């Protein structure tokens, strides 16, 4: 029987030499694989109160929308700078390959709302940390952070756990 990681392809030397890119689009394209991933991502939160699901740009939108639908709660995107049309707050962060800024609408999360943060991949944790900081600025309470893939060697899980976050990932891959 196939596992979630069996649906994920690896592309060597993308986007730079030495990188093993874990491509979840093959998982998303397979109806059984996609259903399996969503079901497994939901499992740890059965019976836990969640008010909103936040998806990190861009593959987190796909996962977050499906999870929010299953939980019957709202979905909130955290996007790259300049992509949201309303009034936003921003957070700068460092990527594996440079620097970036993410934004959230300033009215997307209400104080005290319980939030699940979702993305496809946890590498260094920079994007997730920036998203968490935005949610917390708005008064949201992070229930957990859920990912399909963890790359443990890059330290993202440890970084988020050092912030007091609960972290779940469906599978892990060695290397970058």
Q: Tell me the CB-side half-sphere exposure of residue 21, using CA atoms within 13 A.
A: 11
Asked about 96 being catalytic, the answer comes back as: yes
Asked about 153 being catalytic, the answer comes back as: no
Neighbours of 133 (CB within 10 A): 16
The single residue of 57, 96, 136, 159 carrying the catalytic annotation is 96
Crossing angle between the packed helical segments 31-42 and 59-71, to the nearest 10 degrees: 60
The single residue of 9, 22, 35, 59 carrying the catalytic annotation is 59
**Distance in angstroms (rounded) separating the CA atoms of residues 8 and 26:** 6
For residue 41, give the nearest of 173, 144, 146, 160 by alpha carbon: 146
Q: Hey, which residues are catalytic here?
A: 59, 96
């Amino acid at each position: 029987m196939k596992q979630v990681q069996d649906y994920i392809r690896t592309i060597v030397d993308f986007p730079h030499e030495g990188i093993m890119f874990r491509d979840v689009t093959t998982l998303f394209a397979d109806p059984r694989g996609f259903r399996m991933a969503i079901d497994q991502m939901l499992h740890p939160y059965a019976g836990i109160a969640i008010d909103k699901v936040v998806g990190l740009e861009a593959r987190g939108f796909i996962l977050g929308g499906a999870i929010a639908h299953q939980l019957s709660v709202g979905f909130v995107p955290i996007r790259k700078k300049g992509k949201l049309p309303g009034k936003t707050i921003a957070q700068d962060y460092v990527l594996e390959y440079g620097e970036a800024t993410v934004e959230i609408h300033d009215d997307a999360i209400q104080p005290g709302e319980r939030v699940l943060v979702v993305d496809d991949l946890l590498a260094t944790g920079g994007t997730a940390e920036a998203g968490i900081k935005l949610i917390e600025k708005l008064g949201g309470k992070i229930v957990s952070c859920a990912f399909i893939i963890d790359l443990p060697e890059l330290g993202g899980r440890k970084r988020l756990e050092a912030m007091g976050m609960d972290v779940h990932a469906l599978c892990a891959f060695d290397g970058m």
